[in-house]
Structure 1
């Protein structure tokens, strides 16, 4: 079995723990609180999650969060399957899979279908990140910009 499927101290595989985290997130989202309170709670959960990452994953997560906020201050941070993610108009646009969580050699910045990064017949929807040089930050910024712009441009009428 792959390293990502190994059991944790709780006896759950990483995938099972992610599903459990998602169930908790869904239960939390059903609590009756104002939109502003929910967004503040979600931002706090993301900050706590990022603070618990190892140094490189934390550096990458904070950079992605900073870039996302610079590109579009309306992007909202929240946890998605226990990992940092960003939403636009209530839909997850992108998420970060920290290397340490799944014991991989790189963090993964993934973009969801709602980002609509379509280019011809094939395009990348995820990037492996091992560091944060100038080129990598520029790539992240361009991709987030494209994701946000395409999400707004391709939004169904009436939203």
Structure 2
């Protein structure tokens, strides 16, 4: 059946996740956090163009606004978590050859606003307005 199963990019993401888990297996405390930070920075450094600008911007904002979040990767994406639960992550456009990158907030983010609210944002460029919006959202997300 045509179109069934995972794409090559999805399979690669799953392999990356398995590798992420292997590289931190048995590590605890500061050693685990250091390895996860290194992986996050490596994932950002591997990007180029707008993806690199956006991921760098998000990393800087997280460091300034929510330094208690732990940088790591999930499926090769730069990700920031609190107590092991993802709060925010960056999905580069280049990962799945999409026309825009996304900054997404997971369930641990306190963005609740009534019975429906946005958790994922398409981003085309890193500019001052995007930075202000991400800062505001992150402040709300971490309470």
Question: TM (normalized to structure 2)?
Answer: 0.91
Q: Which residue of the partner structure matches residue 12 of structure 2?
A: 17
What CA distance in whole angstroms lies between the structure 2 residues aligned with 1:90 and 1:42?
Answer: 11
Match of 2:56 among 43, 56, 62: 62
2:132 is equivalent to residue 124 of structure 1? no
Q: CA RMSD in A?
A: 1.6
Match of 2:89 among 71, 85, 95: 95
Match of 2:66 among 59, 72, 83: 72
Runs of 4+ in 1 over 3 A off after TM superposition: none
Report the Cα offset of residue 34 of structure 1: 3.5
Q: Deviations over 1:96-141 (max 9, x none)?
A: 1000111111110111011131100110000011112211111100
What CA distance in whole angstroms lies between the structure 2 residues aligned with 1:81 and 1:16?
Answer: 10
Question: TM (normalized to structure 1)?
Answer: 0.82
Report the Cα offset of residue 19 of structure 1: 1.1
2:21 is equivalent to residue 26 of structure 1? yes
- Unaligned runs of at least 5 residues, structure 1: 7-12, 150-159
How many residues are paired up? 140
2:80 is equivalent to residue 86 of structure 1? yes
Check the 8 A contact 2:93/2:102 in 1, yes or no. yes
What CA distance in whole angstroms lies between the structure 1 residues aligned with 2:13 and 2:51?
Answer: 17
- Unaligned runs of at least 5 residues, structure 2: none
What CA distance in whole angstroms lies between the structure 2 residues aligned with 1:66 and 1:47?
Answer: 11
What CA distance in whole angstroms lies between the structure 1 residues aligned with 2:111 and 2:14?
Answer: 26
Report the Cα offset of residue 30 of structure 1: 2.1
What CA distance in whole angstroms lies between the structure 1 residues aligned with 2:13 and 2:108?
Answer: 21
Q: Which residue of the partner structure matches residue 10 of structure 1?
A: none
